[in-house]
């Protein structure tokens, strides 16, 4: 009788294993889709854009002083901005691109899904269009 109960328990456990794996997969998909635990909250986006605006102001100040935008954000500190604070949304780093003639720039934050683009929903600010935009963004080649 004990052997029979043990066999029923083993078979029942094995039968429930696929259901358990499906449940784990569904919970993982829900967390991924809803962004639970994500940095993409309204507060983080607002903070990131606010920090970005400080950088944009420093970039414009740099251009007014030097006649062109800097080649990298590192050239701004400490003279034009105390420190470059990272964005709190996305992957937590700025993507800065400047034209070859240093006349226009793009500042962006988001989540890079490969080496060429920031994901849909990333935010960018361009010197030619001075508002934060939401879209996928091409990244400069390193």
Q: What is the pLDDT of residues 51-76, one digit of tens each?
A: 999 999 999 999 999 999 999 999 99
Q: Which tokens sit at 113?
A: 């899904």
pLDDT for residue 5 is more than 80: no
User: Are 63 and 131 within one domain?
Assistant: yes
Considering only residues 129 and 137, tell me which one the structure prediction assigns the higher pLDDT. 129
Q: Which tokens sit at 17?
A: 């294993």
User: Are 23 and 48 within one domain?
Assistant: no
User: Are 99 and 49 within one domain?
Assistant: yes
User: Are 67 and 26 within one domain?
Assistant: no
pLDDT of amino acid 18 = 74
User: Are 13 and 51 within one domain?
Assistant: no
Give the pLDDT band of residue 128 (cuts 50, 70, 90): confident
User: Are 64 and 104 within one domain?
Assistant: yes
User: Are 62 and 117 within one domain?
Assistant: yes
How many domains does the chain contain in total?
Answer: 2
Residue span of the structural domain in which 91 resides: 42-138
Query: How far is it, in rounded angstroms, from Cα 11 to Cα 112?
Result: 45
pLDDT of amino acid 142 = 47
User: Are 130 and 107 within one domain?
Assistant: yes
**Strand pairing category for 123-126 and 129-134:** antiparallel
Q: Residues of 49-73 as b/e, b for ≥16 C-beta within 10 angstroms?
A: bebbebbbebbeebbeeeeebbeeb
User: pTM for the whole thing?
Assistant: 0.69
pLDDT of amino acid 130 = 79
User: Are 66 and 1 within one domain?
Assistant: no
Give the pLDDT band of residue 136 (cuts 50, 70, 90): low
Give the pLDDT band of residue 139 (cuts 50, 70, 90): low
Q: Please report how many Cα atoms fall inside a 13 Å half-sphere around the Cα of residue 36, on the Cβ side.
A: 5
Query: How far is it, in rounded angstroms, from Cα 74 to Cα 38?
Result: 28
pLDDT for residue 30 is more than 60: no
C-alpha R_g of the chain: 24
Sign for the pseudo-dihedral over CA of 31, 37, 42, 45: negative
Give the pLDDT band of residue 38 (cuts 50, 70, 90): confident
Q: Could you report the per-residue pLDDT of 67-121, keeping only the tens digit for each?
A: 999 999 999 999 999 999 999 998 899 999 999 999 999 999 987 655 555 666 7
Residues in CB range of 58: below 8 A, 6 or more apart = 76, 80, 81
């Amino acid at each position: 009788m004990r052997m029979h109960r043990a066999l029923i328990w083993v078979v029942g456990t094995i039968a429930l294993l696929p259901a358990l794996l499906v449940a784990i997969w569904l919970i993982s998909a829900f967390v991924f889709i809803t962004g639970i635990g994500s940095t993409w909250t309204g507060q983080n986006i607002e903070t990131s854009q606010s920090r970005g605006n400080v950088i944009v102001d420093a970039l414009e100040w740099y251009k007014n002083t030097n006649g062109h935008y800097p080649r990298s954000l590192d050239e701004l500190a400490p003279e034009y901005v105390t420190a470059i604070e990272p964005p709190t949304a996305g992957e937590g780093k700025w993507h800065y691109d400047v034209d070859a003639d240093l006349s226009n720039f793009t500042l962006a934050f988001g989540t890079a899904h490969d080496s060429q683009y920031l994901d849909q929903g990333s935010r960018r600010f361009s010197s030619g269009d001075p508002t934060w935009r939401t879209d996928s963004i091409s990244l400069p080649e390193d």
